[in-house]
Amino acid sequence: MADGAARLREAFAAAERPLLVPYMMGGFPTLGASRDVARALGAHADILEIGIAFSDPLADGPTVQAAGQVALDAGVVPDDVIALAGDVRDGPPVVLMTCLNLVMAGPPERFMRAAADAGVAGLIVSDLPCDEGDDVRAAARQAGVAMISLVAPTTTDERLADVAKVAEGFVYCVSVTGVTGGAVSVDDDLAAFVARVKRAIPLPVVVGFGVQTPEHAAAIGRFADGVVVGSQLVRAIERDGLDAAAGLAGAMAAALRGDGN
Amino acid sequence: MTTIAQRFGPYGGRYVPETVIPALDEFAAAYDAARDDPAFRAELAGLLRDYVGRPTPLYRAERLEAEYQAGPIYLKREDLCHTGAHKINNAIGQVLIARRMGKRRIIAETGAGQHGVATATAAALFGMECVVFMGRTDMRRQRLNVIRMNMLGAEVRPVDAGSGTLKQATSEAIRDWVTHVRDTHYVIGSAVGPAPYPEIVAELQSVIGIESRAQVMDAEGRLPGTVVACVGGGSNAIGMFRGFLGDGGVALVGVEAAGTGISSGLHGASLGEGSPGVLHGSLSYLLQTPEGQVAEAHSISAGLDYPGVGPEHSHLRDAGRVRYVSATDDEALEAFGALCRTQGIIPALESSHALAAVAREGRAWGTKGPILVCLSGRGDKDVDQAAEAMGIDG
């Protein structure tokens, strides 16, 4: 098994367009159904991001929080979501997204080994800034799981230099100062922010938070290496069902290819 | 780099989304500069004296001594602070810093409502916009404080998630802060959260311990043998303990909520029963499942109904400098009634937990010297709930 960072690198190298990274909440709408979600979204994905629900998320907006609560209420535990990732390992590379306490409770060595054994390529920990969590990063490195760093528009250049020292796989640019699920405004500020990140960190840059339409995706794709679509897909699954969500993911992928423009 | 403590032993840290890291840096730098600025110190001291009503009295509770056959027992009367609890010491200080940083909007979380009222008060005093996040359950059981916050011009935003208590209110406040971080200062109400909050809150509350130490020396010509305070997030306790950490002979006791009994599983004893984990930005003892999901706490007292605790308390626990015990809802109600009857003081249900520890262990403590209790707040907010629990008709 190639290490996670290498597999993510290959995904970016292989793609002929900006990458589509759909997000789904592990265990939503049910644990069984989330396998179908992973396959349906995975068909349009270059990288698939799967969330592990935490009781007290700090970066999730109402849509993702509510989906997480459904999973928690159904008794979904982190190992269930890691197993889900293992079930779809023949699809695009999987990155997990969660909060630090679930990794720490693992404890980190066990959590990372289980994730690596399930074929997980990377991990995003939304409440782990670049200057914390040496033990978690060491465990990830040992297991071959890439630790993906988040940066925000408020992140200073000085801080980006620190992120560059620990970032692996790709950099996740939070498009807005805020939680997930708002609406991004694709403007010169966002383009300048992405350019600033690219200057500081020699990794592909993916933009997420608030990407709601294929038009958003296409516009961001002009200056970023990929887009994450999360709350909008979760909302589509909840409101209109899996086919509609898969259709939206397909439309996002087409928009990133430049079709229909 | 800031000189403000980031960690207490292994505990503390800054486990938050990257978005708010610059705001934490800015707050630390602003506090660093303020505490070295004589003008700031004079303004804060003046407000604490003329507006808050400091120093608060130290009062010897002789009829309580007779009731508990222990003593002497001294009460540090934080309940006599403006707005009715120690929370105002921190809120005034933080809002002053926020003003120095040029922030126009203040947010806060609140459990019992005392911190919300204190923050709404400070915001009103300085003409700033204020939003207070409060769990739906707490809004019901602390209705008086909701009304007070509204009167003071604050918006109280209900939080429906989970059990509708302090944990959810804090998470929601942090999410709001992540969104509005550029123009908003988040006034955390306890010695919890990411650095630099635990240290700044402890310093702003240390006035309790510094005053108490001098007052007990004045009254008794010696230090207290035992100092006791209730611990939810732990701000009144750390503020009190800070006055005595250097006095090795003074026993320090923190009292957590045992709820309906530790064995019932419905309690708030994170130091007694929890394990280290990360909640709301810092590493500290935490009530959690084996998988790391944060458990729901339980206490009759909304201010102690929290599954985490300030990181300095975790360090003091491991170091053995403070002994942490717990008191049940029933024990707290008993102590609440005893102070009402013997001294004509209606204590907050939070502070009643500290009194309950005196009821249980005070006779043994009395042999080591005076007992000092942090009476962190008054119980006006609790009378409906206490009357119902005690079967008292209106």
pLDDT of residue B375: 98
Mutate to test the interface with B, among A56, A80, A135 (most CBs of B within 10 A): A56
Which ipTM did the prediction report?
A: 0.95
Secondary structure (H, E, C), chain A? CCCHHHHHHHHHHHCCCCEEEEEEECCCCCHHHHHHHHHHHHCCCCCEEEECCCCCCCCCCHHHHHHHHHHHHCCCCHHHHHHHHHHCCCCCCEEEEECHHHHHHCCHHHHHHHHHHCCEEEEEECCCCCCCCHHHHHHHHHHCCEEEEEECCCCCHHHHHHHHHHCCCCEEEECCCCCCCCCCCCCHHHHHHHHHHHHHCCCCEEEECCCCCHHHHHHHHCCCCEEEECHHHHHHHHHHCHHHHHHHHHHHHHHHHCCCC
Work out the minimum CA distance from B302 to partner chain A, whole angstroms: 19
Q: Which residue of B has its CA nearest to A150?
A: B18
Please write the tens of the pLDDT for every residue from A61-101: 889 999 999 999 999 999 999 999 999 999 999 999 999 99
Whether chain A has a CB inside 8 Å of the CB on B181: the answer is yes
pLDDT of residue B392: 83
| A152·B17 Cβ contact <8 A | yes
Calculated CA dihedral for residues A65, A68, A72, A77, nearest 10 degrees: -140
Whether chain A has a CB inside 8 Å of the CB on B140: the answer is no
Residues of A in contact with B20 (CB under 8 A): 154
Residues of B in contact with A151 (CB under 8 A): 18
Average pLDDT over residues A173-188: 81
| B278·A102 Cβ contact <8 A | no
Q: Which residue of B has its CA nearest to A106?
A: B291
Average pLDDT over residues A114-120: 98
User: Which backbone phi and psi does A119 adopt, to 5 degrees?
Assistant: 85, 10
| A177·B277 Cβ contact <8 A | no
Residues of A with CB under 8 A from a CB of B: 54-61, 65, 69, 72, 77-79, 99-106, 126-133, 149-156, 159, 163, 174, 177-179, 182
Q: Answer yes or no: A49 catalytic.
A: yes
| B167·A56 Cβ contact <8 A | yes
Catalytic, out of A49, A56, A87, A243? A49
| A101·B288 Cβ contact <8 A | yes
The 8 Å CB, 24+ separation contacts for A29-32 are: A29/A67, A29/A70, A29/A237, A29/A238, A30/A74, A31/A71, A31/A74, A31/A76, A31/A80, A31/A84
Count Cβ atoms below 10 Å from residue A239 Cβ, excluding itself.
9
Task: Look at residue A261 and tell me whether its pLDDT is greater than 50.
Answer: no
Residues of A in contact with B171 (CB under 8 A): 56-58
Count Cβ atoms below 10 Å from residue A243 Cβ, excluding itself.
11
> Which residue segment(s) compose the domain that A44 sits in?
4-257
Average pLDDT over residues A12-37: 96
Residues of chain B with pLDDT under 50: none
For chain B, the C-alpha Rg in angstroms (whole number) is 19
Work out the minimum CA distance from B222 to partner chain A, whole angstroms: 44
How many Cβ pairs closer than 8 A exist between chain A and B?
117
Q: CATH number for the domain including A112? A: 3.20.20.70
pLDDT of residue B159: 95
Catalytic, out of B65, B76, B78, B87? B87
pLDDT of residue A2: 56
Residues of A in contact with B288 (CB under 8 A): 101, 105
| A104·B279 Cβ contact <8 A | no
Residues B79 and B194: their CA atoms lie apart, in Å, by: 28
Whether chain A has a CB inside 8 Å of the CB on B292: the answer is yes
pLDDT of residue B356: 98
Domain count for chain A = 1
Q: Which residue of A has its CA nearest to B177?
A: A178
pTM tops 0.80: yes
HSE-CB for A53 with a 13 A CA cutoff? 25
Q: Which of B18, B23, B294 sits opposite A150 (nearest CB)?
A: B18
Instruction: Note which residues in 9-68 of chain B have CB less than 8 A from chain A.
Output: 13-23
B273 or A177: which carries more pLDDT confidence? B273
Q: Answer yes or no: B109 catalytic.
A: yes
